[in-house]
Chain A
Amino acid sequence: MQSILNSRDISYLKERAREMRIEILKMLEKSGSGHTGGSLSATDIVAALYFYKMKHRPDNPDWAGRDRFILSKGHAAPLLYTTLALTGYFDKSLLDSLRRVGCPLQGHPSSKMLNGVEISTGSLGQGLSIANGIAMGLRLDKNPSRVYCLLGDGETQEGQVWEAAMSASHYRLDNLCAFVDLNGLQIDGRCCDVMNIEPVGDKWRAFGWHTLSIDGHDMQAIVDALDEAEKVKGKPCMILAKTVKGKGVSFFEGKAEYHGVTPTKEELELAIKELS
């Protein structure tokens, strides 16, 4: 399949996101293990990144001119794998082997095992520091590539995230744009009950970030925010994306218990019907 990358056509991007959701659900049903809810909540964001905003070459994953994507919330691996497959980094059939012994599609992304994965993640709170380091290195090299990083909302309970928030702003990393996927839920329940992260916008602003708040399922809003982020000078940009965990499948939506649960065969059929 020949993908069109860097398209700004909203209906095209929505169609890609829909396709990605179906592939995510299929691979999770097949593997019987993996993170469904947090993959579906961030699908639209990642679709906009890989099919619109990011410069990248699936046939040359190490191309020096590429923009970098760091999946700090590494448990959304099925989302990353699906995106890489649908943009042409590897054959879609590989998605069937998620979490199998000896398979490059590890439970959480492993950069040594799969092309297109910039860095291994999975232990939460570490991705933003890595993104900062890449942004610093690119700047030293006068490389105009940009760095994108996706965090979970529960993940921002990790202290290292705020260390990194401070350094990105201290070093004025305007070649960096991060998202928090605000789906409001974490394994043990609602973020506001487990450990409240609000007021989240005030926090990032106070740390010196250019902060935008959008509906993380409104493709036009995502695309506009990405364009705005690129114009910000002298500070990093944070896009706070309000999302729904399990988005696109009515019976998964907004349910904490689907954080790490995969669909059954029947659920998959129903879900595909809803998405079609």
Chain B
Amino acid sequence: MGSRDQEQKTQNTDFAGQAVATRDAYGAALLELGKSNKNIVVLDADLSGSTKTKGFSKAFPERFFNMGISEQDMIGTAGGLSLTGKVPFASTFAVFETGRAWEQIRQTLCYSHLNVKLAATHSGITVGEDGASHQSLEDIALMRVLPGMTVIVPADGFETKQAIDAAAEFEGPVYIRLGRSKVPAVMPKDYKFQIGKAYTYSLGKDATIVAAGIMVSAALEAKEILSKEGIDAGVINMSTIKPLDGGALLAAADKSKLILTAEEHSIIGGLGSAVAEFLSENHPVKVVKIGMRDTFGCSGPPKELLQLYGLTAANMAETIKESLR
């Protein structure tokens, strides 16, 4: 009880330096935005407790619309609300938001370039026990391919809070990929998020890891492991996957012999593909990908699943060593 009280006291509203699930930071960010911006409206598809939009729904019931279990209708309705000048945030699990309603996102939101924000939670395999049906491993690919869509994958609570604020300010459709599990704080306290701007911790002589989401903290660990073995690895947090920060990638490709991409997503169509597409055209360098290797996930505790599918710091370090050989 005492330690819990202490935790409550040390909580700050921007989540700097705080280990928190990105969905929790989203819920808190929405609540604040709701106060300062009367045009913010929120839609959910019967998962408001899990997506953390419930806080907003209690504070601003007239600006919250539970659409029931109907994701396609939710996207269209969000589009309609945006046509009256509202700034809708539509939330559900990533697999349903981007999969079930993909064509609605394409036709209604992107083709008309509507100002709708898709904040999807429970992305990746760290959904855990619910298993493959609920683990979204394709959402980055599905959103990235759409013209005019911005794709953001924040790494921690601090970055999430800022990304949500930035998305609300930005004009146009934005996809924000959030997670269920608590993640360590990885962004420095003076960090300022900007759409389209990667954060470079350092560039490695030997390799640079380009990571997003929960894989950023694993990448920072991998860098430590490698440095003990005399291998110089850098880390970039590529939190905006579209538009991609080409400048950051060129700098890495210039300095490093190898680029390793790391994502909690399929290696087909996601961050790894985006990085490889850019570098093969602009600065060919060897790119190796860590991610889900054309497979579905399965049930289990998140930590065990990350190990099972090779999404750990140890695996990154091993892959870099092998690729440099």
Contacts and interface: CB of A to CB of B under 8 A. Distances in A.
A and B bind: yes
B107 interface: yes
A123 B107 contact: yes
A159 interface: yes
Interface string B82-102: 111110100000000000000
Given A122-B107, A167-B70, A138 B84 contact: yes
Contact of B108 (A126, A143, A159): A126
Given A112-B112, A163-B72, A167-B70, A140 B107 contact: no
B212 interface: no
A208 B76 CA distance: 20
A130 interface: yes
Interface string A85-104: 00000000000000000000
Given A133-B78, A140-B62, A120 B108 contact: yes
Contacts, number: 111
Contacts of B76: 126-130, 132-133, 160, 164
A133 B80 CA distance: 4
Contacts of A112: 111-113
A136 B112 CA distance: 19
A134 B81 contact: yes
Residue among A120, A129, A135, A166 having the largest count of chain B Cβ atoms under 10 Å: A129
A137 B104 contact: no
Interface string A107-147: 00011100000111111011111111111111011010000
A140 B41 CA distance: 10
A171 interface: yes
Nearest to A147: B80
A126 B77 CA distance: 9
B104 A132 contact: no
Given A119-B108, A120-B107, A160-B104, A133 B70 contact: no
A236 to B, nearest CB: 13
B67 interface: yes
Interface string B105-139: 01110011100000000000000000000000000
A111 B112 contact: yes
A130 B108 contact: yes
Given A112-B112, A120-B112, A164-B73, 5 more contacts: A132-B80, A140-B62, A140-B63, A143-B84, A164-B76
